[in-house]
Amino acid sequence: MRLSVSRDKLRFLLRLWPVPVVVLSAFCAIMLYQMDGIVREKFEGKRWRLPSVVYARPLELFNGAPLRDEDLEMELQELGYFKVKDPLQPGEYGRNGDKFDIQRRGFPFWEGAEGTTRIQFRIVKSRVADLMQNGEASELSRLDPMKIGGIYATQKEDRKLVQLKQVPKYVIDALIAIEDRDFYDHFGVSVKGISRAMWTNLKAKRWVQGGSTLTQQLVKNFYLTPERSIKRKFTEMVYSVLLELHYSKEEILETYINEIYLGHSGDNAVHGFGLASEFYFGRPLEALSLDQAAVLAAIANGPSFYNPARYPDRVKKRRNKVLALLLEDKKITKADYEQARKQPIKVRPSLRWTPNRFPSFLDLVRRHLDRDYQNKDLAEEGLRIFSTLDPIAQVQTEKAISDFMRRQGKSAGKLQVASVVVSDSGEVQAVVGDKVAGFQGFNRALDAKRSIGSLAKPVVLLAGLSDPNKYTLATHISDGPVSIPLSSGQVWEPQNIDYGDHGYVSLLTMLTQSYNRATVRLGKELGMKRVKDTFRKLTGSSEIPDNPSIMLGALSMSPYEVAGMYYPFFSGGYRTDLKAVRGVQDHDGKRIKAYPSKSIKIYEPSVIHLMQYAMRAVIFEGTGRSAFSFMPGDLTAAGKTGTSNDQRDSWFAGFTGDKLVVSWVGNDANDPTKLTGSSGGLHVWAQIMAKVSHKSLALNAPPGISYQWVDNATGLLSSSDCQGVRYLPFVGDSAPKQSVPCPVLPEPVSPDQPPATTTQEPAMLDWLFKLMQ
Partner 1 sequence: MTAKFLNSALGAALLLILAGLANTCVHAPEPIPVPTEEVPEETVTAPNVELIKEPLAPAVHSLLRKSQAALEQKNLEDAEAHAERAYRMEGRDYRVLFMRARVSLASGNTEDAEQWAQRALGSLPMKYKEHRRQTWEFIARARALHGDDAGRDAALQEARSIR
Report the site for partner 1 in 348-387 (rule: CB under 8 A).
Answer: 376-377, 380-381
Range 715-744 burial, b when 16+ CB lie within 10 A, else e:
bbbbeeebebbbbbbbbeebbbeeebeeeb
Decide if residue 112 touches partner 1 (CB under 8 A): yes
Count of H-run helices and E-run strands, the chain = 24, 33
The C-alpha atoms of residue 102 and residue 599 are separated, in whole angstroms, by: 37
Per rule CB under 8 A, is residue 543 in the interface with partner 1? no
Member of 18, 20, 64, 135 binding partner 1 (CB under 8 A): 64
CB of 655 to partner 1, least distance (A): 13
Choose which of 62, 442, 628, 707 interacts with partner 1 (CB under 8 A): 62
Give strand pairing partners of 652.
641, 663
Q: At what angle do helices 312-328 and 290-299 cross, to 10 degrees?
A: 110
- Closest by CA to 64, choosing from 145, 126, 142, 133, is 126
Tell me: does residue 633 bind partner 1 (CB under 8 A): no
Which residue in 592, 668, 674, 732 binds partner 1 (CB under 8 A)? 592
The 10 Å Cβ neighbour count of residue 194 is 16
Least spacing, CB of residue 614 vs partner 1, in Å: 19
Restricted to residues 333-352, the positions that interact with partner 1 (CB under 8 A) are none
- DSSP letter at 83 equals E
Three-class SS of 30-58: HHHHHHHHHHHHHHHCCCCCECEEEECCC
Residues 605-624 touching partner 1, rule: CB under 8 A, are 605
- Active-site residue, from 451, 454, 466, 663: 454
Q: What is the dihedral sign for C-alpha 317, 323, 328, 334?
A: negative
Half-sphere exposure of 728 toward its Cβ, with a 13 Å CA cutoff? 33
Tell the smallest beta-carbon distance from residue 592 to partner 1 (Å).
5
Q: Is 179 a catalytic residue?
A: yes
Determine which residue in the list 203, 703, 748, 752 makes contact with partner 1, applying CB under 8 A. 703
Of 489 and 596, the one with the shorter C-beta distance to partner 1 is: 596
Contacting residue, 65, 175, 287, 465, with partner 1 by CB under 8 A: 65
Among 179, 278, 604, 761, the one annotated catalytic? 179
The verdict on 134 binding partner 1 (CB under 8 A) reads: no
> Shortest distance, CB of residue 621 to partner 1, whole angstroms?
26
Compare residues 283 and 609 and give the one whose CB is closer to partner 1: 609
Is 454 part of the annotated catalytic residue set? yes
Q: What DSSP designation does 230 have?
A: H
Tell whether residue 594 is a contact of partner 1 (CB under 8 A).
yes
Dihedral, CA atoms, 291, 296, 302, 306, nearest 10 degrees? 40
Burial of 16 (0-12, 13-18, 19+ CB in 10 A): exposed
Binding mask 217-256 for partner 1 (x = CB under 8 A): ------------------------xx-xx-----------
Using CA atoms, how far residue 79 sits from 76, 91, 109, 396, 495, in Å, is 5, 9, 15, 17, 54
Give 162 or 241: the residue with its C-beta nearer to partner 1: 241
Output 42 or 399, the one with its CB closest to partner 1. Answer: 42
Rounded-to-integer distance, Cα 117 and Cα 426, Å: 30
Interface size with partner 1, residues (CB under 8 A): 54
Residue closer to partner 1 by CB (options 156, 582) is 582
User: By the criterion CB under 8 A, which residues form the site for partner 1?
Assistant: 29, 32-33, 36-37, 40-42, 44-46, 60, 62-65, 110-112, 139-140, 186-187, 191, 241-242, 244-245, 376-377, 380-381, 423-425, 427, 572-574, 582, 586, 591-594, 596-601, 605, 702-703
| Catalytic site positions | 179, 454
